[in-house]
Structure 1
Amino acid sequence: MSGRPGGGLSRDLNRQLARRLSRGLGGSPRGARKGGHLLARYAHIGGAAVGVLVAGAAAGVFAERKIAARGRGAGPEPLGSIRGQVRPVVADDGVRLYAEVDQVRSEDGVDQAARPAFVFVHAYALNLDSWHFQRQALRGQYGMVLYDQRSHGRSSRSVKARCTIDQLGKDLAAVIDALVPDGPVVLVGHSMGAMTVMALAEQRPEWFGPRVVGVGLISTSAGGLLASTLGLPGMPGRVVHRVSPAVVATMARAPRLVERGRRAGADLGFAVTRRLSFGSMEVPPEYVDFTDEMLASTPIDVVADFFPGFDDHDKHAALEVLSGIPTVIIGGGRDAITPVEHSRRLAETVPTAEFVELAEAGHMVLLECHGEVSAALRRLAERAEKRGVPLRTRGLPL
């Protein structure tokens, strides 16, 4: 074992990855290592992180646990500390989905029956706590439902065959039926969560208008993610695109080794997460820590189970129903995971949508520019209310 933390683990992992990279690139192990070193150099990280970097390429989410703890303050409520009434939901295949409900405060004099309820859907390898700032901003004014997607957070593990975007759409339908049985709903998704909303639109187009009265799509794509290269120019970007499925599969076959390597990586994970998830190097470190910890809590085999679905993701045809309801599309100009061009194409496809491009933000725009994102969601709900929405006959279930 090397004297450096994780040195032996890194070499073991890199040897396995090099063999797989060689086959993926159609070349020699030497060529594979060269491609990995190029990628590492352009990403400004060490060779030990190449495997982790590639594994997170499609959705911008991966991290190692850090040795040194940093503060996670976010004003009076620490990041991820907001809790609601726990309301588990059972999906159509029996998977238990962990969900929380936040009610409108009756003492505020808000007419809950006239207001839509928000349903928030989180991204790949994150969990419902990623909506901390939006929950904080809208709490008490709107009913809210937040849940962990299958195999994420506190939800139960799913079999690999059901780890698909289409199944996530069915899960969202189950959550809505169970927790918002009547009255208007505004759906908000981030990255894979927004793809989940698109899957629901494809499966239940009749819900959009009468039942789903507003949609927010954040840092996402309707398809074509094969073109994403982590924002790296030239050869390194092409290496990411070509080898990532092979590397993820290899890592999933040795989950214990990978998890040990992630823990040993310590502060390297912080640097990688900041580089790929945020647009500014000046982002508060507690935001990076918070993201890093959510990512690190996602097992590598869960990452591998969902990863192939991004290649096949194509929901362009489902977007038509969004033209008839208030919609907001939000993208970060420095998003290295889902480049802002994807958000621009969504806005072109749904010309009635409000498009918010935050030039300096990265993939975790909901943290990095949380004030702007929360304000856009408030405008979305207000537009839905002005259109006239069906009244809720009863409050959100408790």
Structure 2
Amino acid sequence: MAVSTAKKAGIAGAAVGVIAAGAAAGFAIERATIGRAIRRLAEPRRVAEPYGTLRGRPLTVRAEDGVGLYVEVDGPVLFTSGAGWARRRSAERAAAAGPTLVFCHGYALHQDTWHYQRAEFAPNNRCVFWDQRGHGRSERGTPSSHTIDQIGRDLYTVLEAVCPDGDVVLIGHSMGGMTIMALAAEHPELFGGAEGGEHARVRGVVLCSTTDGHWDEMTLGLPARAAQLFQRTAPGVFALLGRGHTLVDRTRRAGTDLAQLLTRRYAFASDVPPGLVRFTDEMLSSTPMDVIADFFPTFSAHEKVSTLATLGQVPVEIIVGDHDLLTPAFHSERMAAAIDAVSPDESGRAGLEIVPAGGHVLPLEHPDAVDSAIRRVLARVESSGTSSH
């Protein structure tokens, strides 16, 4: 059956939102073959989790080029019944809580990716959540500033503004993990590298569903020829959709059966609640198509193998799903091996967990596993005696 031009643009836009432009074949049979299945999937099976409702104290941090970065700071709090949160903080409680946890989200998502981790850690730990430029509530920069290296510099700015003193543990999902690597490349002293000394404040790192490079190995779980076709055509497709982003964004926000199917396929590998699929799709659809298009070429330039030696100077935990189609488990295995190769002793070896039935968006799909990885890093920091708290 025929599909309108607007519909095609909307579906393609949703597909690239999860780096799946090459998987959007078969528009003509979308309604007839998968529409009914998705509508059945969307039937509520349990009370929906209130995703995106947990909030911290909002701040705007200005990046080096003036772009406003939206940040929320949370920490030990006393909860109240009713509509609001009581924000009475105690400096003593915050200090006793240990390192500040700084969460960096992934491509085309925003800080609410960390919904479960905020609920788990904010009551007892000082936590910082931020939206990367062009994502969530942050302002967008110029197209040329939408790069992984720039958001690494943005992370440095956030650290200097929000937690200029004291220890931090960095947690990054997908492009957020790449952001941490970009920070380490420019500021190895934060991790105890060259001229570290008193500047060494990063005490641990959690890398979730990410990669140090080798973007040409990405297959999206497609057959070899289809994957090669995607690698050749994706840059042009992204550029085209970016130029027509107004129409694409409008139709993406309207939502489609195929968009939710692609979100489910590329974000999750297990049976997650329909509300979680919808929430993730809404995050993806809220990221402007031209921002997505701007960032896409930067992935092929992301090669941070040499930076792993810097990360290896602090406790690192790596976690990935065994069915991650975007950053497959062998990327994590390779990163862990590279860190182990430069580690001076057993205490510096990278922890590695491959989560069964895990897709790409582990913080939402398998929050307990991600929480455990964070707790392991905190325990290693404490046992190593590197934390100043």
- TM-score grouping bracket, smaller chain normalisation: 0.7 to 0.9
In structure 2, what is the equivalent of residue 29 of structure 1? none
Give, as a single letter, the amino acid of the residue that structure 2 aligns with 1:301. Answer: D
| Structure 1 equivalent of residue 66 of structure 2 | 94
2:52 to 62, 76, 80: 80
Aligned to 1:292: 281
1:362 pairs with 2:362: no
1:328-339 mapped onto 2 (5 Å cutoff)? 328-339=317-328
Q: Aligned partners of 2:44, 2:59: CA distance in 1, in Å?
A: 30
Q: 1:223 aligns with which of 213, 217, 222?
A: 213
Could you tell me which runs of 5 or more consecutive residues in structure 2 were left unpaired when the two chains were aligned: 13-20, 31-38, 78-88, 193-199, 341-348
Task: Give the whole-Å Cα distance in 2 for the aligned partners of 1:185 and 1:240.
Answer: 39
1:113 CA drift (Å): 4.6
CA distance in 1, matches of 2:28, 2:376: 45
In 1: Cα distance, 2:120 partner to 2:303 partner = 32
What is the Cα deviation at residue 235 of structure 1? 2.0
Q: Residues 184 and 389 of structure 1 are in contact (CA less than 8 Å); yes or no, is this contact kept in structure 2?
A: no
Q: The residue matched to 1:324 in structure 2 has which SS?
A: coil
Match of 2:4 among 4, 7, 26: 7
Partner of 1:259: 249
1:144 aligns with 2:127: yes
Please say if residues 113 and 183 of structure 1, whose CA atoms lie closer than 8 Å, have aligned partners that are also in contact.
Answer: no
SS of 2:128's partner is strand
- 2:296 corresponding residue in structure 1: 307
5 Å-filtered alignment, 1:260-275, equals 260-263=250-253, 265-275=255-265
Q: Which residue does the alignment assign to 1:249? A: 239
Give the direction of change, closer, same or farther, for the CA distance of 1:85–1:69 in structure 2 (3 Å limit): farther
Q: Please report the TM-score for the alignment, with normalisation by the length of structure 2.
A: 0.82
Indicate whether 1:181 and 2:178 are aligned.
Answer: no
| CA deviation string 1:112-166 (max 9, x = no partner) | 2560010000001100000001111112211000000001100011101111111
Displacement of 1:391 in angstroms is: 3.5
In the other structure, the counterpart of 2:187 is 204
Contact 2:209 2:332 in 1 (8 A): yes
Aligned identity (percent) is 44
Go from structure 1 to structure 2 and tell me whether the alpha carbon gap of 1:266 and 1:114 turns closer, same or farther (over 3 Å shift). closer
1:13-69: CA deviations, max 9, x gaps?
899xxxxxxxxxxxxxxxxxxxx9x9546xxx63598xxxxxxxxxxxxxxxx9x98
Tell me: CA distance 1:150–1:74, structure 2 relative to 1, closer, same or farther (3 Å): farther
Question: SS where residue 360 of structure 1 aligns?
Answer: coil
Consecutive unaligned residues in structure 1, runs of 5 or more = 16-35, 50-65, 393-398
Structure 2: distance between partners of 1:131 and 1:284: 17
Q: Give the letter for the 1:339 counterpart.
A: P
| Cα RMSD (Å) | 2.8
The CA distance in 2 between the partners of 1:87 and 1:12, in whole Å, is 35
- CA change 1:136–1:71 in 2 (3 A) is farther
How many pairs are equivalent?
346
